Chains A and B, each alone.
Chain A
């Protein structure tokens, strides 16, 4: 009962902050509300017994993403969203259609906590039964991420590295680009 109350409380706040993001025109308030949204999502992850994901959501979503947004806001002149005069009908149609499609898609998903769901019948059993014996690591999330799916995690780290390289290439302009006058000499 208590868990349900907390769930409903968090979800109401989640929806409220999402609606708040939609209706506010101050970009600063928007960045703060995004941070709040992430913190609420992190709390929900805790309730779903996923502390590893909650950690990441709290640190990245609330901490780093908010600071990056604030840095971006400080670098731009406008502090308010440009007011939109008229409602775009095509955009509204596409949004409603996509939303309806996604809602329809959720009907095909297995029920929440269903023990017969594919994720519980394929690999999870083996990881839970033999994970600790095979890796010696009590935290199964770490065992799966680092050992069983080490190759996936290598790919994730490569993505993070590539993002860093991309930002460096785009934003760091220490040297002005020179136009080579005589290509033959160079």
Chain B
């Protein structure tokens, strides 16, 4: 698909918009529909579109397997770690009210952090699965 001019131009226009939209859904999830899961999936579709139009190798150069594995595990650790931090600060596991002196601020911090963890894990895992599938096609 790399020689199709219309696809290339359209992808170049669309990819930044999709990425911005993913970040909007990620960090605006507590005010509007969306959240970490949706944002992660939208983010990964942008990279997926890039990989489909401009080639797997160029996408894999940016999103290396090492990075994706680290992000996938890192997001989960961030989520689980938030629970541990709230325990250390005197609350129950994943009780974000303990994260700050004001319970509402604590809730806000906690929700933003765990949504970020969800987004990281979902985006990188979706890409990992796609790359693992697509590599088998390319290597045949």
**Given the interface contacts A157-B118, A164-B72, does A136 sit within 8 Å of B38 by beta carbon?**
no
Chain A residue with the shortest CB-CB distance to B30:
A137
Q: How far does the Cβ of A48 sit from chain B's closest Cβ, in whole Å?
A: 13
How far, in whole Å, are A134 and B111 apart by their CA atoms in the complex? 13
Interface size on B, residues (CB 8 A): 54
How far, in whole Å, are A168 and B103 apart by their CA atoms in the complex? 40
Q: Which of chain A's residues have a CB closer than 8 A to the CB of B69?
A: 168
A157–B75 touching, CB < 8 Å:
yes
Contact of B114 among A55, A153, A160, A163 (CB under 8 A): A153
Q: Which of chain B's residues have a CB closer than 8 A to the CB of A135?
A: 104, 107, 111
**Given the interface contacts A60-B41, A67-B130, A171-B133, does A75 sit within 8 Å of B140 by beta carbon?**
yes
Q: Which of chain A's residues have a CB closer than 8 A to the CB of B75?
A: 157, 161
Q: Which of chain A's residues have a CB closer than 8 A to the CB of B117?
A: 157
Interface residues of B (CB under 8 A from A): 25, 29-35, 37-38, 41-42, 44-45, 48, 52, 65, 69, 72-73, 75-76, 79-80, 83, 93-94, 96, 103-105, 107-108, 110-111, 114-115, 117-118, 121-122, 124-126, 128-130, 132-137, 140
Interface residues of A (CB under 8 A from B): 51-52, 54-56, 59-60, 63-64, 67-68, 71-72, 74-75, 134-139, 141-143, 145-147, 150-151, 153-154, 156-158, 160-161, 163-164, 167-168, 171-172
A-B contact pairs, 16 of them (CB 8 A): A51-B33, A52-B33, A52-B34, A63-B45, A64-B48, A67-B52, A75-B136, A138-B30, A139-B30, A139-B33, A142-B35, A147-B110, A156-B37, A161-B72, A161-B73, A164-B124
